[in-house]
A and B are shown apart, each in its own frame.
Chain A
Amino acid sequence: AQTVTQSQPEMSVQEAETVTLSCTYDTSESDYYLFWYKQPPSRQMILVIRQEAYKQQNATENRFSVNFQKAAKSFSLKISDSQLGDAAMYFCAYRSARTGGTSYGKLTFGQGTILTVHP
């Protein structure tokens, strides 16, 4: 079974600075998707960024980028120019690219990292 580990329960950053959140995962599969979700105090889950494992290029979305190291099974999120609105809990998640079967489409989440942004 796949597992996702976020080793940083809490992180903090100064406004306008850069912070990196860590995520590692364990899988025997070669094709899969990785995601970072943000959960602000409203508790709404918001997709931040997505990475396909078959793509070598790291995904970017405005101030958010990832460092995807497939061999090391590492998937970190970098937030540049941090803003107060970035304060939230961040979850790393894994999904198999296999179609069909008992794990079809499900996401496996890490335990989350609480990010605090200081003004």
Chain B
Amino acid sequence: SQTIHQWPATLVQPVGSPLSLECTVEGTSNPNLYWYRQAAGRGLQLLFYSVGIGQISSEVPQNLSASRPQDRQFILSSKKLLLSDSGFYLCAWSVIGTGHEKLFFGSGTQLSVL
């Protein structure tokens, strides 16, 4: 069965520090991968998505970046965090065209930038 791992679960970082959140998927190949952010009490905002290794599409201009060094690995990064980067970050995967159009989510990372 397919599983998605996302870590860390919580993170407290000072303003200006770097960020690296990692997400890995097991049990499937060539998934579409996504990073979403959820502000407190709000909906999900798509940040990045990837349809293959090295292929990254950005939805919102910001000081975050994403990389996909391996087929089932998706990394969210920042060189210098801002206060506005605080939020709940969710990684997700899906496989399109096989009937598995639904999105499967990781357990999320609560990021607090102080």
> Chain A interface (Cβ within 8 Å of chain B)?
6, 33, 35, 42-45, 47, 50, 91, 93, 95, 99, 102, 104-112, 114
Question: Please, which residues of chain A bring their CB within 8 A of the CB of B57?
Answer: 102
Question: Please, which residues of chain A bring their CB within 8 A of the CB of B105?
Answer: 44-45
- Main SS at interface, chain A: loop
Which listed residue, A35, A44, A102, A109, touches B43 by the CB 8 Å rule? A109
Number of A-B residue pairs having CB atoms within 8 Å of each other in the complex:
59
| Interface presence of B32 (CB below 8 A) | yes
Question: Please, which residues of chain B bring their CB within 8 A of the CB of A45?
Answer: 44, 90, 92, 103, 105
| Interface presence of B74 (CB below 8 A) | no
How many chain B residues touch A (CB < 8 A): the figure is 26
For the complex, give the distance between the alpha carbons of A19 and B109 in Å: 31
Would B102 and A50 count as touching, CB distance under 8 A? Answer: yes
Would A91 and B102 count as touching, CB distance under 8 A? Answer: no
Would B107 and A44 count as touching, CB distance under 8 A? Answer: yes
Q: Which of A6, A102, A105 lies at the interface centre, i.e. has the most chain B CB atoms within 10 A of its CB?
A: A105
For the complex, give the distance between the alpha carbons of A47 and B93 in Å: 13
Would B42 and A44 count as touching, CB distance under 8 A? Answer: no
Write the B73-92 contact mask toward A (1 if CB under 8 angstroms, else 0). 00000000000000010101
Would A107 and B107 count as touching, CB distance under 8 A? Answer: no
- Shortest CB–CB separation between residue B112 and chain A, in angstroms? 14
- Shortest CB–CB separation between residue B47 and chain A, in angstroms? 11
Would A110 and B49 count as touching, CB distance under 8 A? Answer: no
